[in-house]
Copies of this chain bind each other. A is one copy, B any other.
Amino acid sequence: MTTTEEIHLVRRPRGVPEPDDFAHVEASVGEPSDGEVTVESLWMSVDPYMRPRLDSDQPLDAPLLGGGIGRVVESRHEKYREGDLVRHSAGFRKRFVSNGKGLSLVRADPQIPLSVYLHALGGTGLTAYGGLLDVGALKDGEQVFVSTAAGAVGSVAAQIAKLKGCYVVGSTGSDDKAKWLGEELGLDAVINYRREEIGPRLAEVTPQGIDVYFENVGGAHLDAALPRMNVRGRIPVCGMISTYNGEGEGVRNLFSLIYGRIRMEGFVASDFAHLNAKFVEEMSAWVKAGSIKYQETILDGFDRAPEGLIGLFRGENTGKMLIRVGE
């Protein structure tokens, strides 16, 4: 019997979560039985989808639901050996025993940093890839708008669209991020929605309308995009971060769907398992070639997970928000 550490939710947040909504708890962890492995956490992933869960699905006084990458430190499971790297969804726990459910082997390319398997080559990358190409049915050369284009999913979606020869507009909330999107990622136009009114500005920079709006925000962003959609346009709905805290503005322009025959469709990464092999092959090549760039906000130390979650919802991250637990 050894000890582990866990991050618990101890109170349901109102609006943006606060530090006192969470607790850093010490717990015991047993030895693995037959068919089990012990995993030590290396990286933990902090994601927008975690916010709505805090309102209902996430049990109180239990480890935060979430995923990460860890190393197998002891194995009595035929599929895993000591030293194997695994992706898991075991929540925010420093060390845990697993029967293998929710685990999958990460065959990390030595030329790619391990943390990338939690974003561009992980769930967020697959979300962008499947959302844009499968749900969004993107065709080469189309007109694309990506909201929160500097985010973990948005930045991959915007770059895939550029790789497909599209005209790409991105929105973001800071000048630094806007600069990165324009100068580093080569987006055709960038909107800083905290400085500029999203509606008029989006109209200005989409002279040929929008064929695919990759939706991460909702509210005023969606109201700005709807009247710009071309006939038979698609709105893959990846997230609506403006509404997760129950604050957001109501959407008023949905009638645009009718004459435009616009399709809006929600999705989650797990819908794209059938695309995974092709995704890993294409994305690994793009990452190694430097065609998909990324930014990471890394907080060092297991106990900083609540800080990461709160920071994400305050927009304090640049790119993927990660907690580094060990090496």
Listed in ascending order, the chain A residues whose CB lies under 8 Å from chain B are 52, 218, 222, 237-240, 243-244, 248-252, 254-268, 271
Contact = CB atoms under 8 A, between A and B. Distances in A.
A261 B239 CA distance: 12
A199 to B, nearest CB: 14
A265 B256 CA distance: 10
A271 to B, nearest CB: 7
13 contacts: A218-B254, A237-B258, A239-B258, A240-B254, A243-B252, A249-B250, A251-B252, A254-B264, A257-B265, A258-B267, A259-B268, A262-B265, A263-B266
B248 A251 contact: no
Contacts of A271: 261
A94 to B, nearest CB: 29
Contacts of A262: 265-266
Contacts of A265: 257, 261-264
Contacts of A268: 258-259, 261
Contacts of A250: 249-252
Contacts of A263: 263-266
B222 A237 contact: no
Contact of A254 (B238, B251, B267): B251
Nearest to A49: B258
A218 B254 CA distance: 8
A261 B134 CA distance: 13
Given A240-B254, A248-B252, A251-B251, 15 more contacts: A218-B255, A237-B254, A237-B258, A240-B258, A249-B250, A251-B252, A254-B264, A256-B266, A257-B264, A259-B266, A261-B265, A261-B267, A261-B268, A263-B263, A263-B264
A33 to B, nearest CB: 34
A136 to B, nearest CB: 12
Contacts of A264: 254, 257, 263-265
Contacts of A261: 265-268, 271
